[in-house]
Chain A
């Protein structure tokens, strides 16, 4: 085990996978000479050269499509979005080209491509730069969605995503890049897609979440503990594929569920999970499932308003209390 930041873990994953497979290349804005807008690709240009670590023009639609074409022709591109906010310009290529190509061609063209970058809010970046984008991608069959919340998960899941033969939207957290954690050194440290992780064990209530919201959930769980309430915190880690077994296990254990996500509520990930739980574990529920999400508004700039808009440990504690009828 080594202690490293989330950023370093991603960097190590990229480096190891590029060493392992010469068909892997990284393209995006500022990834090469600048070392990455968030320094995730630091040092890679020097190590792998400018054919494999490529500064693109600010043309999200264009370089995303370029990646899709390169994947069709047999390469394994990693396309970096400086943030997923900018990927709206490229979503036609992700959904209409990458996610559907294998199906439209009846299996002639697998699409081993990773689209990665930070999603969600940082601090006071206001509406166009602060939004969680998972559900746009998880909505489309053919696109996998991965949301690591710790350095170890970042490394293991990125390596698995690069090796996967389907398109993966790999969504990082801008506020997580500096977070430190223990990460296995092993070059073959892989976390398979579709395996959730119980980040905390409890028996009274299940807080299910993904991405950087696991930290809000864990904070809430600590506070609940002081009141004698033990929460299970289930980190889905990947939205598609979804570890439904792990969800059903925690529901069967606690019978009470709060879903926490950074995005908006309407047709959000929590809406999907809630629907599935009521379909498949109705008899295990002792209370309606509640969701804690971003306020249903574009993200405001002012610090106080921004804090109100984001999901918080306070709101999670409150939701847990409600499902516990306390």
Chain B
């Protein structure tokens, strides 16, 4: 595990630079260590999911966030409890970041009843209504208008919260994206639209299918846009802390091109590299742009972390991931009658089901 076993060589100025980075972003030792713990948990959780997928405990599509963990910790940690998060289908870590128990998230991946969707949603459809995590959506760009609707409700009810809407870079070519951004702008909705720009929509490089950059896409709607190094969790955290305050209380929407890179395939059923990107490219980026290694180096440099402490934090993360997997494995499979629950919120007179099957309970 490169991110915890080796440390990059640093020059004489490293300490000064590291301390300066933390100061510049207004992040203290406790918070920095928290962000490190968060990201370690996310990585170990995703690695555990990867293992479980390989042995058939998890099925279907399973999109891992490995390499992009700062896009969960850095974006969500600065939010308030009553802020909303909505996202696409690479969302396990973001669900955890917003407050869903990792054990429950893993149970959902396993398709078990202790998952937030009782095993009926799976990897792509994790929801936490109580912590305002609004899913988990599987159609590229489909969640973007939903985010505008959540923001509409915040404004309608004169609340002080914000919604953060994640999407991948491929979503910016969907009509839903453009329609939603236009409405968010014209109605000054309290939303932060974040493109987790990992450079590839599945196996298609963004540059091959887009004439303009991600960051430019919001400008024609009059939405302030910024590019953030999404591998640098300190920069990401500071950006989202500040953006949330700008948006809160009527500043209108914001747009972020969060530049990141995924270290795994698009989903577990896709190759990490091959036809669309080279193995060398991936290896190079893993060396250079690992968000955990970057923070580790800064904390080492600033004298806030040593190898023992790092290993201790990592051991905690591994233990949580293992516990999550054990919990999921022990959770019951949904009973047959679960099939027909939660189709309709309200029964009416007359028939709602047409399959002619017996319905129990």
Interface string of A42-64 (1 = CB under 8 A from B): 00000000010000110101111
Binds A, one of B8-16, B142-150, B194-202, B240-248: B142-150
Residues of A within 8 A of B136 (CB): 104
Size category of the binding interface on chain B? 35 or more
Whole-angstrom CA separation of A89 from B145 in the bound complex: 13
Whole-angstrom CA separation of A77 from B125 in the bound complex: 23
Residues of A within 8 A of B351 (CB): 194, 241-244
Q: Which of A25, A62, A194 contacts B145 (CB 8 A)?
A: A62
Q: Which of B84, B152, B342, B349 contacts A241 (CB 8 A)?
A: B349
Binds B, one of A68-76, A213-221, A256-264, A313-321: A68-76
Residues of A within 8 A of B156 (CB): 25, 51, 70, 75
| Beta-carbon contact of A62 and B182 below 8 Å | yes
Task: Tell me how far the C-beta of A29 lies from the nearest C-beta in chain B, rounded to whole angstroms.
Answer: 12
Q: Is A202 interfacial (CB-CB < 8 Å)?
A: no
| Beta-carbon contact of B183 and A105 below 8 Å | no
Residues of B within 8 A of A244 (CB): 350-351
Q: Is A1 interfacial (CB-CB < 8 Å)?
A: no
Interface string of B144-185 (1 = CB under 8 A from A): 111111111110100000000000000000011011101100
Residues of B within 8 A of A65 (CB): 142, 144-146, 148-149, 176, 179-180
| Beta-carbon contact of B127 and A62 below 8 Å | no
Q: Is B231 interfacial (CB-CB < 8 Å)?
A: no
| Beta-carbon contact of A105 and B176 below 8 Å | no
Contact A241 to B180, CB < 8 A, known contacts A64-B145, A106-B120, A166-B344: no
Whole-angstrom CA separation of A133 from B141 in the bound complex: 25
Q: Which of A103, A196, A241 contacts B348 (CB 8 A)?
A: A241
Residues of A within 8 A of B182 (CB): 57, 59, 62
Those of B327-361 within 8 Å (CB) of chain A:
341-346, 348-354, 356
Residues of A within 8 A of B116 (CB): 105-106, 108
| Beta-carbon contact of B348 and A75 below 8 Å | no
Q: Is A130 interfacial (CB-CB < 8 Å)?
A: no
| Beta-carbon contact of B146 and A97 below 8 Å | yes
Q: Which of B127, B139, B152, B350 contacts A66 (CB 8 A)?
A: B152
| Beta-carbon contact of B343 and A141 below 8 Å | yes
Q: Is A311 interfacial (CB-CB < 8 Å)?
A: no
Q: Is A229 interfacial (CB-CB < 8 Å)?
A: no
Residues of B within 8 A of A111 (CB): 345
Task: Tell me how far the C-beta of B311 lies from the nearest C-beta in chain A, rounded to whole angstroms.
Answer: 38
Whole-angstrom CA separation of A242 from B134 in the bound complex: 31
Contact A104 to B135, CB < 8 A, known contacts A65-B180, A69-B150, A164-B346: yes
Q: Is B222 interfacial (CB-CB < 8 Å)?
A: no
Residues of A within 8 A of B350 (CB): 193-196, 238, 241-245
Q: Is A268 interfacial (CB-CB < 8 Å)?
A: no
Task: Tell me how far the C-beta of B153 lies from the nearest C-beta in chain A, rounded to whole angstroms.
Answer: 4
Q: Which of B118, B148, B354 contacts A62 (CB 8 A)?
A: B148
Residues of A within 8 A of B348 (CB): 144, 164, 192-194, 238, 241
Q: Is A179 interfacial (CB-CB < 8 Å)?
A: no
| Beta-carbon contact of A73 and B343 below 8 Å | no
Q: Which of A51, A62, A93, A110 contacts B345 (CB 8 A)?
A: A110
Residues of A within 8 A of B346 (CB): 110, 164-166
Contact A105 to B148, CB < 8 A, known contacts A65-B176, A192-B348: no
Those of A131-180 within 8 Å (CB) of chain B:
141-142, 144, 164-166
Residues of A within 8 A of B342 (CB): 102-103, 105-107
Residues of A within 8 A of B352 (CB): 141, 194, 240-242
Whole-angstrom CA separation of A66 from B146 in the bound complex: 5
| Beta-carbon contact of B139 and A92 below 8 Å | yes
| Beta-carbon contact of A104 and B145 below 8 Å | no
Whole-angstrom CA separation of A93 from B145 in the bound complex: 9
Whole-angstrom CA separation of A96 from B145 in the bound complex: 13
Task: Tell me how far the C-beta of A144 lies from the nearest C-beta in chain B, rounded to whole angstroms.
Answer: 8
Residues of B within 8 A of A73 (CB): 84, 134, 149-150, 153-154
Task: Tell me how far the C-beta of B328 lies from the nearest C-beta in chain A, rounded to whole angstroms.
Answer: 16
Whole-angstrom CA separation of A93 from B139 in the bound complex: 10
| Beta-carbon contact of B137 and A97 below 8 Å | yes
Interface string of B124-136 (1 = CB under 8 A from A): 0101110000111
Task: Tell me how far the C-beta of B99 lies from the nearest C-beta in chain A, rounded to whole angstroms.
Answer: 14
Residues of A within 8 A of B150 (CB): 69-70, 72-73
Interface string of B103-131 (1 = CB under 8 A from A): 00000000000001110110001011100
Q: Which of B153, B180, B345 contacts A166 (CB 8 A)?
A: B345
Residues of A within 8 A of B344 (CB): 102, 142, 166
Q: Is B186 interfacial (CB-CB < 8 Å)?
A: yes
Q: List 28 A-B contacts (CB under 8 A).
A: A51-B156, A62-B176, A65-B148, A65-B149, A65-B176, A68-B149, A69-B149, A70-B153, A72-B134, A72-B149, A73-B149, A92-B142, A96-B138, A102-B343, A104-B136, A105-B125, A105-B342, A106-B117, A107-B341, A108-B128, A111-B345, A142-B344, A144-B348, A164-B346, A193-B350, A194-B348, A241-B351, A243-B349
Interface on A for B, CB 8 Å cutoff?
A: 25, 51, 56-57, 59, 61-75, 77, 89, 92-93, 96-97, 101-112, 141-142, 144, 164-166, 192-196, 238, 240-245, 272, 276, 279
14 further A-B pairs in the complex, CB-CB below 8 A; given A105-B125, A243-B350: A25-B156, A66-B145, A69-B86, A70-B153, A72-B134, A73-B154, A96-B138, A97-B139, A101-B135, A103-B120, A105-B135, A164-B346, A241-B348, A279-B356
